[in-house]
Amino acid sequence: MSNSKNVKISLFDGANKNPEKIFICSKDRKLSNNDVINESFFLTGKFRQEGICEKDKVVLFLPNSIEFVISILALWRIGAVPIPLNPKLNKKLLSEQLIFSDSKFILSTDIELKVDCAKSIIIDLDRTTNPVPSESFVNLDSVALMQFTSGSSGIPKLVPLTFSNIFASIECTNSLSRLSESDYWFASLPFFHIGGFSILTRSFFTNASVYIIDNFKVEDFKSVLEVEQITHLSLVPTMLNELLNDRIGFPSSLKAVYIGGAASTQGLLKEALELGLPIFKVYGSTETCSMISGFPLREFPHKIESSGLPLKNVKIDIDGKEGRIKIKSETITKGYYKLEALSHSSFTKGEFCSNDVGWIDTDGFLFVQSRADRIINSGGEKIDPAEVESVLMQIPGISDCAVFGKPDKKWGESLTAAIVSKDNSTSRDSIQTYLEGKLINFKIPKEYYFVDKIPKSAIEKIDLKSLLEKIGI
């Protein structure tokens, strides 16, 4: 895809080759490729009548749904740019992201939704409008999507991704576990995150099928896996843990279970392997258009702490000064929207200097340690909070935790931990006693806060800003 300038591709080339094949399934509906093409054709007409034009930015304030998928395809036919947002955002945050992204329209199924800064369009797929012919080809260099990062390193950043980025990402995934038209992906991650959105693009452009649920619930998962011949799953560690705790059965058709997002514990991954699950650990970000490294865990169980090998056409290096992970790939965005200074420092000649710190072993496997801005400097000692969190999670009475640096006059940053106790029996003294045998003294927290829950993003990354507000720091 390196010579993608002015190259156009057909959106529906794969779908037209097998029009009767089922593409999307949900609890209530099944749509064939031909159904999807026709639905998107009619929705294109509705959007044009509402005033949406080429290059207009359009927010999708929709849950995981068939309406979401059809809306994306209709916007692509027009040449508009979709911006999926978390449908649970409060009105203040929604307005802020609408304004920052310069979006003129917002798509929703909520007839009560009213915002001052964009025109609301209700999505109902009722075919009440006249179809309007539109181009079904897209330029590979045109922006296919703008997506906000999870904000795990601070304020969420808006990332433009081209069709070329998307197709390069599909090549990456296929180099790890090839997807074909006989495959069936269970879309359980939110579409407003790149991990969830990429399930749609991989499935659509390889003519695979996809099953959609709007929210993760163990009982819904169980009922789907009992009936549907799912071949691919994408999960974050918390989801996998809930599924294993409920002892649900997994179909024999399963080929790949991708685990990404937040860090996974060795115990959880080993339990999944013992059950025979085809676990693939993967690593990526919004900036890299999803996964850029990964590996099948059962083939390399001794690399359980790793994030895998670079995927096809990906080069990964480590910055010598700070240990930041640097990635070169055709999947990478050219920069952040409206953030020129940050873009200039983060992206150079197709290389992305991430905010993740890590190292590469002699076999070429990548090990991700933590976010650079999460590294704590306490009295001149550099501390990786992920290391401390990993040891804390070995304590039987702790169900969750987060380690961070609290401003301190003496130490600069004082190592601090927020703890979720399983039965309120875990005390500061019992934690300290346990850690003294596991960690060097300066890596043992000086202060503890006991909370009912650690605030996290939709893909289970710690929301440090909300946590600090919760405990009053």
Which residue, among 385, 425, 382, has the nearest Cα to 401 in the 3D structure?
385
Give Dmax over CA atoms of the chain in angstroms: 72
Contact 210, 199 (CB under 8 A): yes
Burial environment of residue 22 by CB neighbours within 10 A (0 to 12, 13 to 18, 19 or more): middle
Q: How far apart are CA 343 and CA 337, in angstroms?
A: 8
Q: How far apart are CA 360 and CA 308, in angstroms?
A: 10
Q: Can you give the pLDDT at residue 134?
A: 55
* pLDDT in single tens digits along all 473 residues of the chain: 445 567 888 888 888 889 999 999 999 899 999 999 999 999 998 999 999 999 999 999 999 999 999 999 999 999 999 999 999 888 888 999 999 999 999 999 987 788 888 899 989 876 655 565 555 889 999 999 999 987 655 567 999 999 999 999 999 999 999 999 999 999 999 999 999 999 999 999 999 999 999 888 888 898 999 899 999 999 988 889 889 988 888 999 999 999 987 677 788 899 999 999 999 999 999 999 999 999 999 999 999 999 999 999 999 999 877 789 999 999 999 999 999 999 999 998 889 999 888 999 999 999 998 777 778 888 778 888 888 998 999 999 999 999 999 988 778 889 999 999 988 778 999 999 999 989 989 999 999 999 999 998 877 788 888 899 999 88
Q: How far apart are CA 287 and CA 297, in angstroms?
A: 25
Q: How far apart are CA 420 and CA 185, in angstroms?
A: 34
Q: How far apart are CA 180 and CA 202, in angstroms?
A: 10
Burial environment of residue 363 by CB neighbours within 10 A (0 to 12, 13 to 18, 19 or more): exposed
The helix or strand, by DSSP H or E, that contains position 37, with its residue range, turns out to be helix 33-50
Instruction: Count the neighbouring beta carbons within 10 Å of the beta carbon of residue 369.
Output: 19
Q: Is 243 helix (H, G, I), strand (E, B) or coil?
A: helix
Instruction: Count the neighbouring beta carbons within 10 Å of the beta carbon of residue 398.
Output: 19
Place of tokens 């050219």: 334
Q: Is 337 helix (H, G, I), strand (E, B) or coil?
A: coil
Q: Which two tokens stand for residue 284?
A: 């990526």
Place of tokens 């809930």: 242
Residues paired with residue 418 on neighbouring β-strands, in sequence order: 402, 449
* Segments of the chain assigned to CATH 3.30.300.30: 375-471
Question: With b meaning 16 or more CB within 10 Å and e meaning fewer, what string describes 105-141?
Answer: bbbbbeeeeebeebebbebebeeeeeeeebebebbbb
- CA distances in angstroms from 341 to 21, 333, 335, 337, listed in the order given: 47, 15, 10, 11
Q: Can you give the pLDDT at residue 334?
A: 95
Q: Can you give the pLDDT at residue 110?
A: 84
| CATH of the structural domain 375-471, one choice from 2.40.50.140, 3.30.360.10, 3.30.300.30, 3.90.550.10 | 3.30.300.30
CATH domain 8-368 topology: Rossmann fold (3.40.50)
Q: Concatenate the DSSP letters of all residues of 109-147 into one string.
A: S-TT---SSSEEEE------SPP-----EEETTSEEEEE
Which residue, among 299, 280, 302, has the nearest Cα to 291 in the 3D structure?
280
Q: List, for residues 373-419, the tens digit of each pLDDT value.
A: 778 888 778 888 888 998 999 999 999 999 999 988 778 889 999 99
What is the pTM assigned to this prediction?
Answer: 0.85
Contact 211, 25 (CB under 8 A): yes
Q: Can you give the pLDDT at residue 128?
A: 57
Q: Is 434 helix (H, G, I), strand (E, B) or coil?
A: helix
Listed in sequence order, the residues at least 6 apart from 229 whose beta carbon sits closer than 8 Å to its beta carbon are 184, 251, 253
Q: Can you give the pLDDT at residue 384?
A: 85
Q: How far apart are CA 421 and CA 400, in angstroms?
A: 7
C-alpha atoms less than 13 angstroms from C-alpha of 282 in its C-beta half-sphere: 29
Q: Which two tokens stand for residue 193?
A: 């995150």
* Segments of the chain assigned to CATH 3.40.50.12780: 8-368
Instruction: Count the neighbouring beta carbons within 10 Å of the beta carbon of residue 412.
Output: 14
Place of tokens 């009560």: 112
Q: Concatenate the DSSP letters of all residues of 60-106 into one string.
A: E---SSHHHHHHHHHHHHHT-EEEE--TT--HHHHHHHHHHHT--EE
Q: Is 327 helix (H, G, I), strand (E, B) or coil?
A: strand
